[in-house]
Structure 1
Amino acid sequence: MDTATRAEFRNAMARVCAPVNVVTTNGAAGRGGFTATAMCSVTDEPPTLLVCMNMRSAQGSLFVENRRFCVNVLTQEHKELAGYFAGQRSDMEARYAAAEWIDLPSGNQALADAIVSFDCRLAEARPVGTHNIFIGEVVGIRSRRDGHALLYFDRNYVHVPTQAGSFGG
């Protein structure tokens, strides 16, 4: 069986709609953060998710050394912030200065107005191809009922109207 080419795979993945997240870490190794669409749940027992980070990122060691990270799901209002954490601002302090952050009991910082913030303990980090996979056990969750998620599709941000307050009740 032949395998797909890198270009075929990248083009196909561009057709998969994904939420845009800013993934942060804070600890003895320092404060860092990057924009990611490669994030998903793994299991709910225990609550666990995974995030992928390109190995070329100079921040990989920060996440591993701090042993914790926070996944902040962005809203439509965070397009500019997503760009900053994707590298439009190289200075980490300038990235953080562009938004309001809340200190979590774990030591992580959460985006104050994120739709959801998943506070995670790094359970495992492993290299796969060009990326590191971070598996995080969720130790805390902050969420809000309003706002529209910032989504990425066809290499662009898109807006999909949703019904606010989608939690069952």
Structure 2
Amino acid sequence: MDTPSAKEPSVSKTEFRNAMARVCAPVNVITTRGPAGRGGFTATAMCSVTDEPPMLLVCMNSMSAQCDLFLRNGRFCVNVLSHDHRDLAGHFAGRTSDMEARYAHARWEDMPSGNQALHDAMVSFDCVLADSRRVGTHHILIGEVVGIRVRPDGNALLYFDRDYVHVPTRIGSFGG
């Protein structure tokens, strides 16, 4: 099997972004609160890493004014949004740069780590930062999950083809 050489044409940024737009992903608001202050942003780049110990990762643009805040706080909360959170996703995606205004659009609950969780998120993962790495333009934040809150109902908000979509949840109808 041949290994591509560094001299071969690579995939362009635009080509990659257009391809990734065709990947459906859950929409999340990532929050932090700690000694460095309170912050939050909207992200689709989140996934599980391992279940023993329970860990997940989030990707955050290194050029974000909040990146240092998240790293200094050493903790974050992943709030998986439901379809009724579309406006909230927009606020945390940068519709406003005023952090207090972003938080004013929802109800929040304190988690044991000090993070704040969205009261009616589909699920909230309270994390302590276990590791972080800069890769290209982003930081990968790896968090050990220290608490979970789950909402028993609702439909997930997804992002596909550069737009928000939702897929109705049918709990209890698997395999049928």
Among 81, 86, 98, the residue aligned to 2:93: 86
Among 120, 133, 138, the residue aligned to 1:126: 133
Count of aligned positions: 167
Q: Secondary structure at the match of 1:9?
A: helix
Among 5, 10, 24, the residue aligned to 1:17: 24
- Identical-residue share of aligned pairs (%): 74
CA–CA distance in 2 between the matches of 1:164 and 1:77? 18
Measured after TM superposition, the shift of residue 5 of structure 1 is: 1.4
Counterpart in 1 of 2:155? 148
- Describe how 1:50-69 pairs up with structure 2 within 5 A: 50-69=57-76
Stretches of structure 2 that go unaligned for 5 or more consecutive residues are none
CA–CA distance in 1 between the matches of 2:168 and 2:157? 11
TM-score by length of 1: 0.96
Q: Secondary structure at the match of 1:57?
A: coil
TM-score by length of 2: 0.92
Among 46, 50, 65, the residue aligned to 2:53: 46
Measured after TM superposition, the shift of residue 7 of structure 1 is: 1.1
Letter in 1 for 2:34: G
Counterpart in 2 of 1:105? 112
CA–CA distance in 2 between the matches of 1:164 and 1:76? 16
Alignment check: 8 A CA contact 1:145 1:165 kept = no
Q: Secondary structure at the match of 1:123?
A: strand
Instruction: Give every structure 1 segment of 4 or more consecutive aligned residues whose post-TM-superposition deviation is greater than 2 Å.
Output: 164-167
Alignment check: 8 A CA contact 1:147 1:164 kept = no
1:136 matched to 2:111? The reply is: no
* Compared CA separation, residues 146 and 127, structure 1 to 2 (3 A): same
Counterpart in 2 of 1:5? 12
CA–CA distance in 1 between the matches of 2:76 and 2:146? 10
Letter in 2 for 1:98: H
